[in-house]
Structure 1
Amino acid sequence: MSDFHSAPPEYDDEEAGVIEIPYQGLSKDALAGIVQEFASRDGTDYGEFECSLADKISQIEGQLKTGHLTLLFDPVSQSCQIVNSRDWKSNT
């Protein structure tokens, strides 16, 4: 008899894998939410000068469009991350 209340199966990183998501495939609202959440994180460094949240969002959107940043989805943690494309490609 199966237990319908059991926890979902556990996956390791190699089995599940992080997925690169083309930002163009997201709705405008979904992308805006991900970018805003990323831009508002504590510890996000934008150099010597402070930037407004709107400026940070604009910079991130621009870097996604130019390919300098990559949007990733982790199915294990059900979370998104924005990373430096060069770093991501060197690890894949």
Structure 2
Amino acid sequence: MIIPYKDLEKTTLINLIESFVLREGTDYGDIEKTLNEKVDDVYKQLEVGEVFIQYSEEFDSVNIVFKDHLQK
């Protein structure tokens, strides 16, 4: 199930994004980004629909997933 990011309280959303960013371990190339910059990047991706917040009833968990990885 997709959860609209605007339905979450701001603090909850930021905590979710921070958790996602910290476990992803993404390589940003030669320029290292701060946690805040990474959080801002993911927030912008939520705004434009590149990533979504998905709740899994099977695993009772919430995750941020890229549009092309959404489970039907």
TM-score tier after normalising by the smaller chain length: 0.7 to 0.9
**Does the residue aligned with 1:59 lie in a helix, a strand or coil?**
helix
How far apart, CA to CA, are the structure 2 residues paired with 1:45 and 1:56? 10
Percent of residue pairs identical? 24
**Does the residue aligned with 2:28 lie in a helix, a strand or coil?**
coil
TM-score, with structure 1 as normaliser: 0.67
List per-residue Cα deviations over 1:26-66 (Å, max 9, x = no partner). Answer: 1111111111111111x431431321111110000010001
- Structure 1 vs Structure 2 CA RMSD: 1.6
How far apart, CA to CA, are the structure 2 residues paired with 1:46 and 1:52? 12
Q: 1:57 to 1:50 in 2, by over 3 A?
A: same
List per-residue Cα deviations over 1:57-84 (Å, max 9, x = no partner). Answer: 0000010001001110112322211111
36, 40, 57: which one pairs with 2:39?
Answer: 57
Which has the greater radius of gyration?
1
Alignment pair present for 1:26 and 2:15:
no
Larger helix fraction of residues: 2
How far apart, CA to CA, are the structure 1 residues paired with 2:18 and 2:56? 18
How far apart, CA to CA, are the structure 2 residues paired with 1:21 and 1:83? 11
Q: How many residues align?
A: 71
Which range moved further: 58-67 or 70-79? 70-79
Q: 1:70 to 1:46 in 2, by over 3 A?
A: farther
Larger RCO: Structure 1 or Structure 2 (Cα < 8 Å, ≥ 6 residues apart)?
2
Uncovered stretches (5+) of structure 1, i.e. residues with no partner: 1-18
